[in-house]
Chain A
Amino acid sequence: MDKVKFSFILNGKIVAAEPDLYSTLLDVLRDYFGLTGVKRGCEIGECGACTVLLNGKAVCSCIILAPSVENCEVLTIEGLTNKELRLFQEAFITAGAVQCGYCTPGMILSAKSLLDCKLDLSIKDIKLAISGNLCRCTGYEQIVEAIHNVANYLKQKEVF
């Protein structure tokens, strides 16, 4: 198969890849860069397990052709700062928002894309932001609570 060479910013670093022409971003992230925090669930952009941030926006990496992210910024769960990760870990685990964990990285990136925009959040805002991420274990309530707690914490930090 034809190969195509392109470069983009992955988790803050400029990288280059030369995958098959029709590779998806999911394939490239998992197979080329070994970022297995990006999960494969349905491969048609429905379950959200493969969610990454593309220029700050949550997208399903399974339905994006890899070369189309040339010169874009891509963030995966592995690219969170230690501080951010710790914050999400504590909030999610305390609220009981993690069971099997397969949806969790995608869920957190959807949450991050919302939190990066605003911190004054209604429950509805949060539910909308994660409505593209399927979770079969928890029933969502605990995930919504966790994200709400992260927002409140960040808001307080802004005030003081």
Chain B
Amino acid sequence: MKYVGESVLKEDAWDKVAGKAQYVEDIKIEGMLWGIAVRSPYAHAIIKNIKTEELELIPGVHAVITAKDIPGENRVGPSAWKDQPVIAEDKVRFFGEAVALIAAESKEMVKESASKVIVEYEEIKVISELQDALKKDCPVVHTDGNVFLERKIAKGNFRNAKKNADLMVENIYQTQSVDHAYIEPDSCLAVPQKDGGVLVYTSTKSVHHDKEEISRVLGLEPSKVRVKAATIGGSFGGKSDIPLICMTSLLAVKTQKPVKMVYSREEVFHITSKRHSYIMKYTHVVRKDGKILGVKVDVLIDAGAYKGYTPSVLGRALIHAVGPYNVDNVSVCCRAVYTNKTSSGAMRGYGVPQLCFAYEAQMDEIAQKLKINPLQLRLINAFKPGDRTITGQRIKSDIRFKETIKKVGKIRENSENTNIQPSTEKSWIKRGWGMACCMYGNGRTGQPNPGIAKVQIEDDCSIMIYVGSPDIGQGSNTIFRQIVAEILQINIDKVNIISADTEFTEDSGTTSGTRLTFIVGNAVKIAAEDLYKKLSLFLNEYGLDLPLDNCLIDLVRKAKEKGTKLFGRGFFDPPTSPLDSKTGQGVPYGTYTFGTQYVEIEVNILTGKIKLEKFIACYDNGRVINPTLYKGQVIGGIVMGIGYAFLEDLNIWKGKITNANFDSYILPTSLDVPDIDVNVVISSDELGPFGAKGIGEPAIIPTAAAIANAVSRALKVRARCLPLNLEKVIEMTQRRDIL
């Protein structure tokens, strides 16, 4: 193959390096106003009164909007549940929730005028912690009780398994909430159109969903709303902040002028969605030869103030709770709870990194108690072709999960690193190694989520791909160009792409769920094949010969003469079925990515500092379409996982994030990154385009788990709580549960 499997360069990167790429904030339009949201200083309060009259008289202030001015429905949400107001009505439920909007002529003026809105609040007790929300005398965030969702899934009979087991390992684990921390703050520019509609430039993982939300809130015909993604400065599951795009559009339509809103970094922290924090109770019952007979899991999920993505994250959590292991008797219960915090959302890994931290700690503890090599224990239980998942889905014959564990084991043996031996020179330095495994279903859980694409030969003799799902920087557009060039056997320089513009593309789903390569890539491939078939007929008719590179000019001329547009269309929806509401059985995903990560570390028990020495990652990722982009996802995922393991933690006091910028919310820097050895096993997915599967999210899932296992091994104390910051490591050194 000429293009698939090659590290084709990202076409958008040239402008990015030159500083010419236009992100939303870089777009300027003559006569543009600045918008701002007036935000609540309380996390839980009744709004008694809002006074804006004084403001409306200030010259330069063009509009003031409160909830009552919203022409459409004042409710948004990323999934079927629309429960979040764009502007709060009678109550605020998290710190910084918008209570009014202002548009004014300059950035400075709009900021100043925001302080002139007088809002009278009556404070209500704030629910900051997950556990507090469950207490009987706790106030409710909404009217329907704080536990708003409980779902279970079961397979076999856990109780029986418990009777037959030789060992039971039962523990409670807890993880923190973290921020996506994309470096480009959320921003939006809305431009009113002559037909009463609006054109919206935004930084988003889904233009089509954004369009639906805007048209509902503004009460506009969907055809009057066009959403176009500018260059996107990172997403990782975040963006758009739906209230933001609706607020900007509201101001633009009201003032009939272009309006730009740009969040400050603090706003990004306070307002946008976060990774869910979990409390998890795991009970593993095991036979003495290492075979896991049963697992019981109870998970409490902190949803924040609105449902947001939580029902869908919870659905994925149910299925991934036991990890990539074949267990016959499983009982999982997940409950989602409201608290007075900004809504938890979709973040790389979608509810699975939390679980992986817990189930992989369990695996190590089982191995240690049974005196079985941890690697061996994982091999004993690892999914293999023919096994059935918790939902009864058969593991396909192309799955090569065990090989990832074996390969990591082999690399580790060959490297003969003596680092994992206890240091004799410095008694305060402890060394350890850890590993963790994961599986991840590609696409949305048990729901139709088709990829749709069009590939067309343009009048200028180029090939144009039309795809709705945005390239958020990871390089999906490049992957699609590779697929099309390969199918059409044409020079890739002639293949261009238009993506993420509702005017020119059909809805191909969001850039999330590790679905772009596997699902949308398939749609692109089918579209190219469709075009190729049509071309062959056309060429025959006119006596032209392939390759396309040679006959393109004649072809376009002939097509013009005939008045036809040569294009192909592709549609791919993975063969899934919804889970049965009672039994939880069904086929939630078209395929799964599997992987194993391994890490060696040093811990300084005087300071609590963790130093990473070496990382090995190996995935069953199907065929890799672009090795450089693959490596970029794996390393990027691991480094984000390093932050999750011991640096990042949102500190919350009375519902308010107290470390809302990068001086106190600490991200990994170049100095925190060890050598990372990125590997794949040879595999090919029977459904994936050219055998490919997705890697975006699986890349981060095992990282914190592997690091936590390494720290536990080094300190001989089990880590049960993330992040393993300096304080927590020191606390661990003072515990006495010697492993």
Q: Interface residues, chain A, CB within 8 Å of chain B?
A: 1, 20, 34-44, 46-47, 49, 76-78, 85, 88-89, 92-96, 98-105, 108, 126-128, 130-144
A141, B12: Cβ atoms closer than 8 Å: no
Cα A144 to Cα B671 with chains together (Å): 11
Cα A135 to Cα B473 with chains together (Å): 12
State which size class the interface on B falls in: 35 or more
Interface of B is mostly: loop
B631, A78: Cβ atoms closer than 8 Å: no
17 contacts between A and B (CB under 8 A): A36-B22, A43-B264, A43-B265, A49-B183, A78-B18, A93-B9, A93-B10, A98-B17, A100-B16, A100-B231, A100-B235, A100-B473, A101-B12, A101-B233, A133-B670, A134-B662, A140-B673
**Which residues of chain A are within 8 angstroms of B497 by Cβ–Cβ distance?**
none
B17, A85: Cβ atoms closer than 8 Å: yes
**Which residues of chain A are within 8 angstroms of B144 by Cβ–Cβ distance?**
none
Cα A99 to Cα B473 with chains together (Å): 5
Cα A101 to Cα B26 with chains together (Å): 14
Contact A139/B635 with A41-B183, A103-B183 known, Cβ cut-off 8 Å: yes
Interface of A is mostly: loop
Could you say which of A46, A77, A103 contacts B662, with CB atoms under 8 Å apart? A46
**Which residues of chain A are within 8 angstroms of B473 by Cβ–Cβ distance?**
99-101, 137
Could you say which of B12, B21, B234, B635 contacts A136, with CB atoms under 8 Å apart? B234
Cα A88 to Cα B640 with chains together (Å): 25
Closest Cβ neighbor of B473 among chain A residues: A100
Is B13 among interface residues, defined by CB-CB distance under 8 A?
Answer: yes
Q: Interface residues, chain B, CB within 8 Å of chain A?
A: 7, 9-10, 12-14, 16-23, 25-26, 28, 108, 180-185, 231-236, 262, 264-265, 472-475, 628-629, 631-632, 635-640, 661-663, 667, 669-671, 673, 676
Smallest CB separation, A50 vs chain B (Å): 11
Closest Cβ neighbor of B262 among chain A residues: A40
Interface centre among A96, A127, A131 (most CB of B within 10 A): A96
B662, A44: Cβ atoms closer than 8 Å: yes
Cα A147 to Cα B21 with chains together (Å): 21
Contact A101/B231 with A93-B17, A134-B662, A139-B636 known, Cβ cut-off 8 Å: yes
Cα A139 to Cα B474 with chains together (Å): 12
B233, A102: Cβ atoms closer than 8 Å: yes
**Which residues of chain A are within 8 angstroms of B108 by Cβ–Cβ distance?**
1, 20
**Which residues of chain A are within 8 angstroms of B662 by Cβ–Cβ distance?**
42, 44, 46-47, 134
Q: Taking A96-B7, A100-B233, A133-B670 as given, write out 20 further A-B residue pairs in contact, using a Cβ cutoff of 8 Å, ordered by the A residue number.
A: A35-B19, A41-B183, A41-B184, A41-B265, A42-B661, A43-B265, A46-B662, A47-B183, A47-B662, A76-B19, A89-B14, A89-B17, A93-B13, A96-B632, A100-B473, A101-B12, A101-B21, A102-B184, A131-B671, A139-B636
**Which residues of chain B are within 8 angstroms of A46 by Cβ–Cβ distance?**
661-663
Could you say which of A135, A136, A140, A141 contacts B236, with CB atoms under 8 Å apart? A136
Cα A128 to Cα B182 with chains together (Å): 22
Cα A138 to Cα B636 with chains together (Å): 4
